[in-house]
Amino acid sequence: MSSELIGLLGFAVLILLLVARVPVGIAMILVSVAGYGLVVRPDAALARLGSDAFASTASYTLSVIPLFVLMGLLLAQAALGRDLYRFLDGLLWRVRGGLALATIGASSLFGAVSGSATASASTMSLVAMPEMRRYNYDEGLGAACIAVGGTLGSLIPPSAVLVLYGILTEENIGALLIGGILPGLMTTLLLMLTAYLLVRRRPQLAPGAEGHVQRSPMRTLVLRVWAVPAIFGLSMGGIYLGVFTPTEAGAVGAFLALAFSVLSGRLSWSGFIEAVSQTVRLSAMIFLVVIGGRMFGFFLSATGIPRTLGGFIGDLEVAGWVVAAAILLLYVVLGAFMDEIAILVIMTPIMYPIVIDLGFDGVWFGVLSIMMLLTGLLTPPVGIISFVVSRVADVPLEKVFRSVAPFWLALVVAALLVIFFPQIVLVLPGLMG
């Protein structure tokens, strides 16, 4: 049996394991050990299992993930998502569909400090949906706004997914995080514009401002949310100016989140324990994926598939952007069946060398990959974020999928803009200190 055929069989087995709901990291480790043993020899595969597990997780760079995760979970325990929502509601309530716009905006801001799409969607489901029901908003519109807003947590820094891409490719993590800022803001505005146009076209989806009750004055709301721009500005600004490394920025962000939560009286002891416990669980899951991804990358290299595929693409007489577009379209299709971390870890070792050989920038491709993977978080049959919102907000899943369709198109438009105007990603990293 040829090494290429072993590689293809390994892919097939990996997909079957993922369909059977075997954890991503475990599935990749099993396939990698068995496949590497067949291509090379069994004792070499077992040696890789011992060495790769240590080499993958001993990286200083990897420590940024638990720090950013802890920062987001501490702020979630401090109920910052609720205050962000009320602040934006106070700004936008006069606009028809203002609660929908506030939901998307608050999700993006909360995603900026949490870095987690699932955490953002879960929090905003509990905060926003009761208010939308209270003012007779369409449930489908409300769920769609929560779902698409939640996806922004994977794009707007600090994003654990961008950090993971940087670790897999050895791209500059600081540049990746800074590169996600403008695309994240642009995507947020496009999603808010989509919600506004939907409401203008179908007024029955959202009521006017009549009957809206402004619970708190704006001055009070500002005092409750000032921590968001402060923490985000200090951590990301430090990276941008060259004052902090990404890990140091994560430490600063986590410390400031803890200090804010404690000094404001928002964090209980049980909340602190819960945040730390979730940080340990999420970080362990991500570390396991990193180990599996490293081993899977070595397995693929041993089979020669990346080299063969790269040579095949190099022989094609088509423009480089056509190949890049085909790769990104593949990501969208895969996103309908797998979660974004699985796709990123499986496909990056294959696609990244091809993209670099075509002359594209690795930071640009990383941010754009995440943008395309966002569509998978909404797309049936998997659509993880759609499932989360459906369950937490108690909205039928079919209605959520149907309602997110216009926003799905907005995400594609945002990705196309980044494809045709790469400087949207690259301008800020190019100015870093």
d(CA 355, CA 320): 8
The token pair at 335 is 């996103």
Which of 1, 45, 7 has the alpha carbon at shortest distance from 305? 7
Give this prediction's pTM.
Answer: 0.82
For residue 358, pLDDT beyond 70:
yes
Residue 39 has pLDDT above 70, yes or no: yes
Q: What residue spans define the domains of the chain?
A: 60-430
CA distance 433 to 430: 9
Q: What are phi and psi of 396, to 5 degrees?
A: -55, 135
- As a whole number, mean pLDDT of residues 182-202 equals 92
Average pLDDT over residues 292-297: 81
DSSP per-residue letters across 49-107: HHHHHHHHHS-GGGGHHHHHHHHHHHHHHTTHHHHHHHHHHHHHTTSTTHHHHHHHHHH
Residue 94 CA, chain-centre distance (Å), reads 31
- Residue % of the chain over a pLDDT of 90: 13
Q: How far apart are CA 50 and CA 335, in angstroms?
A: 31
pLDDT band at 71 (very low <50, low <70, confident <90, very high): confident
Q: What is the pLDDT of residue 72?
A: 80
